[in-house]
Amino acid sequence: MSLTNASPADAAKSAKSASHLLATLPTSARNNALTAIHAALSQSKDEILAANAQDLALAGKAAENGELSLSIVSRLDLGKKGKWEDMLKGILDVRDLDDPVGKVTLRTRLDDGLDLERVSCPIGVLLIIFEARPEVIANIASLAIKSGNAAILKGGKESTESFIAISKVISAALESTEVPNNAIQLVTTRDVIPQLLDLDQYIDLVIPRGSNELVRYIKSSTKIPVLGHADGLCSIYLEHSVSQEVAVRVIVDSKTSYPAACNSVETLLVEEAALEKLLPPVAQALLENGVSLRCDASSKTALTAKLPAHSSAILQDAEATDFDTEHLSLVLAIKTVSSLTEAVSHINTHGSHHTDVILTSSAPLAEQFMSSVDSAGVFWNASTRMADGMRYGFGTEVGISTNKIHARGPVGLEGLMIYKYKVRGAGHITMEYGEGEGQKPFKHEKLAL
Amino acid sequence: MSLTNASPADAAKSAKSASHLLATLPTSARNNALTAIHAALSQSKDEILAANAQDLALAGKAAENGELSLSIVSRLDLGKKGKWEDMLKGILDVRDLDDPVGKVTLRTRLDDGLDLERVSCPIGVLLIIFEARPEVIANIASLAIKSGNAAILKGGKESTESFIAISKVISAALESTEVPNNAIQLVTTRDVIPQLLDLDQYIDLVIPRGSNELVRYIKSSTKIPVLGHADGLCSIYLEHSVSQEVAVRVIVDSKTSYPAACNSVETLLVEEAALEKLLPPVAQALLENGVSLRCDASSKTALTAKLPAHSSAILQDAEATDFDTEHLSLVLAIKTVSSLTEAVSHINTHGSHHTDVILTSSAPLAEQFMSSVDSAGVFWNASTRMADGMRYGFGTEVGISTNKIHARGPVGLEGLMIYKYKVRGAGHITMEYGEGEGQKPFKHEKLAL
């Protein structure tokens, strides 16, 4: 890992060149590098926490002056219970995942002595732009090395001293390994992001990890593919046949277990036939959990009739914009729909193609919903918050994508891979194949993987 | 299929809406639509050829005035021997391919009663921009319907009457099927391309089929992902251990079997140790096939010493730009390199990441080359021209991609697919999982596909 003061173009160029070497290293070389980084960081805890203390002191002052929120200051603190240990454990967890490089996904005998093979390989150079949390740098460096990709890292300025300290330790650790130092580069100079976003000849994929605003800015500022999601406007469709218990459990979990998460529910679509019996207990449970309900006219009428006066008094009227807003807080918009078709149409038009749920006891309706909704995650009787790489069993999560190509939904290491086709022949030429005289057909025999 | 005079935004919006319905249709409904299109076109040969004759007449005049090349006029002619039959057969060939929709590629039991499934689904709306050949419209409509994607088609203006005639027939045929008419739209009004390229809220992927200039223009004019390649600068590395027979066969096929193709070789990298014995017979065979050789100093010296005078007299000196140029004609640039490492470095820097070949008898060198070269196709002792969807056995080819994400190399129907995650539960919520008190771990059991 090098801490670069090079120009963005030089940094990206050297990362590209390092990526070509990194792509050829065997599993063991990449894993050994992660072991070395883990050991070096373990031994350097004191100096890194000292650097982190400098960041914290500056941030504390900024918070006193009202220039920084206390929640950001808290996220900077590497010394917080368990954080340092989690960071170190994360490196070994990534090391111990299956190697995503070199997986053969297709093998065809084109003709005798002429075999085609499709094999996974790293994408090349990643640009990862993230915000304050200093432990993210170790996580990202691990993911990049494990997947054989070079990476240029640009972190939030509040963690600069921590990043520099961690980066020096990683850099020294890599010296003893086969992973080239330039494969992981930390860029700390200001205002380089626009320049980096312009370097599509060297950088193959941008991964922004941070706020919606950061992602939106990056998506609108580069021709390089961006892996991520700007919005998480998830919906739940409450159909009348589901049990009250499932409805209450899933909706409360989807809304309240972590309201600031992108996979929290923002819109509840209630089937008319569910207004009277199912919506009231759901609404009551949400209100008891501190959720503000923004209701359309039909749902408000239904709730006012059924809820105790002190509950219905705090119901709010939904504005049209509520159904296009990711509140990221304890606010839920409620809309009445006549049917599954109307629910699906609302979701496909107003949603963000992240994760949407149907609550129903009908398997055919559930299957229809799951095939019709154009989202990365389509769930039946489960919480929106299940949409997560760790919960899906991917071992790690690079991000959640709402893209329609390459990778969609929670993205694990596979999302950092592409493939190449290898053909091994013995002097085979195309002019000998075809339907003309003296020409022969290809065999196209599928071979075992 | 509708022939639209709607604004580009309205066309794209209605295509999006049609795509949501199309994505839910079963295999049989999509296949039946292709059968119906095939039958309708068969019955409408006369009227379509009459429309085609109008295009041909206009194009003929333009050619007389020197405004259009004769090769374009020839490509317009649907009545040319076998063309009409090939077009019709292509529709049934696509129909009979495996359905790419609904393939389950991952299945995990997250917990009892909570299953995760990753299933292939269409991308959504494709924008396909192509040049003159009128039969392409039937091919593209087939690929889109088969893969469950809506498509907006914009063809070259020289084929307007043919496109309109074919499109009317397809549109009428679709009326009797479950495929919505708006799923395939032909845009014929001029100057709509820039507007379409701006509609990233509706259009998910752009596929340009045409000249390098067209692809380059599109890549630089849109935020929508583009599937394709602007350049095909393919190289062959001639290592000294390969047999003369293999060297001559493969290099001649790679250069002369179709010089205008993107998978033809443009640069020959010759190992120093191969200059004296292997290069002369290769050069002689190329010269006999009418290839102009642009040589660096070392290769020219070696050839001048070995070739007969009348051959060496026509050798040309390579300029630096020759190694960065896709000649697309019977021109080959020859450069001497000291080793495989130098060859790989030249290819990774000057190539277009399309298809590159090593000619050698050494398996370790071949494997090193194939893992080090950052290209969609890396071949050992086979012609660059093997890089082709039909030759690879994909049944069809949507295009050849040099992208580093999503799809790389020859792209079949798979390249028009993404996936979604389906989760089927029974009221499962996230708050019950974890390491806290009363929480449980996920099971993450792999299930059979």
CA neighbor of B128 nearest in space, from B203, B38, B231: B203
Q: Which residues of B touch A110 (CB under 8 A)?
A: 386, 391-393
Q: What is the pLDDT of residue B366?
A: 98
For chain A, give the percent of residues with pLDDT over 90: 86
Listing DSSP states for B14-37 in one string gives HHHHHHHHHTT--HHHHHHHHHHH
Contact B378 A243 (CB under 8 A): no
Select the residue of A219, A377, A442 nearest B423 (Cβ to Cβ): A377
Looking at the complex, report in whole angstroms how far the Cα of residue B307 sits from the nearest Cα belonging to chain A.
Answer: 24
Contact B250 A431 (CB under 8 A): no
Contact A393 B116 (CB under 8 A): yes
Q: At residue A132, does pLDDT exceed 80?
A: no
Q: At residue A4, does pLDDT exceed 80?
A: no
Within the 34-53 window of chain B, which residues sit less than 8 Å (CB to CB) from chain A? none
Q: At residue A402, does pLDDT exceed 90?
A: yes
Query: At B3, is the pLDDT very low, low, confident or very high (cuts 50, 70, 90)?
Result: low
Of A206-220, A430-444, B397-411, the poorest mean pLDDT is in A206-220
Q: At residue A35, does pLDDT exceed 90?
A: yes
Note whether A86 contacts B: Cβ–Cβ < 8 A: no
For the segment A117-134, the average pLDDT, to the nearest whole number, is 93
Contact A253 B386 (CB under 8 A): no
Q: Which residues of A touch B205 (CB under 8 A)?
A: 404-405
Contact A110 B393 (CB under 8 A): yes
Contact B382 A123 (CB under 8 A): no
Q: At residue A13, does pLDDT exceed 80?
A: yes
Of A61-75, A148-162, A324-338, A402-416, the poorest mean pLDDT is in A61-75
pLDDT, tens only, B43-72: 999 999 999 999 999 999 999 998 888 888
Cβ neighbours for B305, distance < 8 A, ≥ 6 positions apart: none
Q: Which residues of A touch B426 (CB under 8 A)?
A: 246, 381
pLDDT, tens only, B159-182: 999 999 999 999 999 999 999 999
Select the residue of B253, B410, B427 nearest A246 (Cβ to Cβ): B427
Q: At residue B190, does pLDDT exceed 80?
A: no
Note whether B405 contacts A: Cβ–Cβ < 8 A: yes
Note whether A20 contacts B: Cβ–Cβ < 8 A: yes
Query: At B130, is the pLDDT very low, low, confident or very high (cuts 50, 70, 90)?
Result: confident
Tokens 């909570």 belong to residue: B114
The structure tokens listed for A35 are 């072991």
Q: What is the pLDDT of residue B444?
A: 97
Note whether A313 contacts B: Cβ–Cβ < 8 A: no
Query: At B5, is the pLDDT very low, low, confident or very high (cuts 50, 70, 90)?
Result: low
Q: What is the pLDDT of residue A234?
A: 98
DSSP A396: S
Set out the domains of chain A in order of their start, with CATH numbers.
Answer: 2-219 (3.40.605.10), 234-386 (3.40.309.10)
For the segment B259-283, the average pLDDT, to the nearest whole number, is 97
Select the residue of B245, B250, B376 nearest A420 (Cβ to Cβ): B376
DSSP A383: -
pLDDT, tens only, B28-48: 999 999 999 999 999 999 999
Q: Which residues of B touch A380 (CB under 8 A)?
A: 422-425
Cβ neighbours for B211, distance < 8 A, ≥ 6 positions apart: B131
| Structure ipTM | 0.95
Q: What is the pLDDT of residue A5?
A: 67
CA neighbor of A125 nearest in space, from A21, A212, A221, A229: A21
The structure tokens listed for A444 are 């196209």
Note whether B204 contacts A: Cβ–Cβ < 8 A: yes
Note whether B108 contacts A: Cβ–Cβ < 8 A: yes
Query: At B6, is the pLDDT very low, low, confident or very high (cuts 50, 70, 90)?
Result: confident
Contact A378 B420 (CB under 8 A): yes
For the segment A32-49, the average pLDDT, to the nearest whole number, is 97
What is the value of pTM for the model shown?
0.94
Give, in order, the Cα–Cα distances in Å from A59 to each of A55, A74, A159: 6, 9, 9
Note whether A419 contacts B: Cβ–Cβ < 8 A: yes
Cα A158 from Cα A164, distance rounded (Å): 12
Contact B418 A433 (CB under 8 A): no
For the segment B91-117, the average pLDDT, to the nearest whole number, is 97
Query: At A191, is the pLDDT very low, low, confident or very high (cuts 50, 70, 90)?
Result: confident
Q: What is the pLDDT of residue A185?
A: 93
For the segment A95-119, the average pLDDT, to the nearest whole number, is 97
CA neighbor of A269 nearest in space, from A234, A310, A219, A231: A234
pLDDT, tens only, A163-181: 999 999 999 999 999 999 9
Q: What is the pLDDT of residue A396?
A: 87
If phi > 0 it is left, if psi is from -120 to 50 it is alpha, else beta; for residue A152 that is: beta
Looking at the complex, report in whole angstroms how far the Cα of residue B132 sits from the nearest Cα belonging to chain A.
Answer: 26
Q: Which residues of B touch A382 (CB under 8 A)?
A: 114, 423-425, 427-429
Q: What is the pLDDT of residue A1?
A: 66
For the segment B187-215, the average pLDDT, to the nearest whole number, is 90
Q: At residue A212, does pLDDT exceed 90?
A: no
Q: What is the pLDDT of residue B69?
A: 84
Listing DSSP states for B253-319 in one string gives HHHHS-TTSTTSEEEEEEEGGGTTTTHHHHHHHHHHTT-EEEE-HHHHHHHHHHS-HHHHTT-EEPP
Q: What is the pLDDT of residue B4?
A: 66
Q: At residue B391, does pLDDT exceed 70?
A: yes
Q: Which residues of A touch B259 (CB under 8 A)?
A: none
Higher-scoring residue by pLDDT: B230, A378: A378
Q: Which residues of B touch A371 (CB under 8 A)?
A: 23-24, 121
Tokens 């893209």 belong to residue: A403
Q: What is the pLDDT of residue B180?
A: 95
For the segment A247-270, the average pLDDT, to the nearest whole number, is 97
Q: Find, in chain A, the residue whose alpha carbon is nearest to that of B370.
A: A422
Listing DSSP states for B48-97 in one string gives HHHHHHHHHHHHHHHHHTTSS-HHHHHHH-TTSTTHHHHHHHHHHHHHTS
Burial class (CB in 10 A: 0-12, 13-18, 19+), A321: exposed
For the segment B408-431, the average pLDDT, to the nearest whole number, is 97
Cβ neighbours for A270, distance < 8 A, ≥ 6 positions apart: A238, A278, A279, A299, A334, A335, A336, A337
Within the 114-173 window of chain B, which residues sit less than 8 Å (CB to CB) from chain A? 114, 116, 121, 123-124
Query: At A204, is the pLDDT very low, low, confident or very high (cuts 50, 70, 90)?
Result: very high
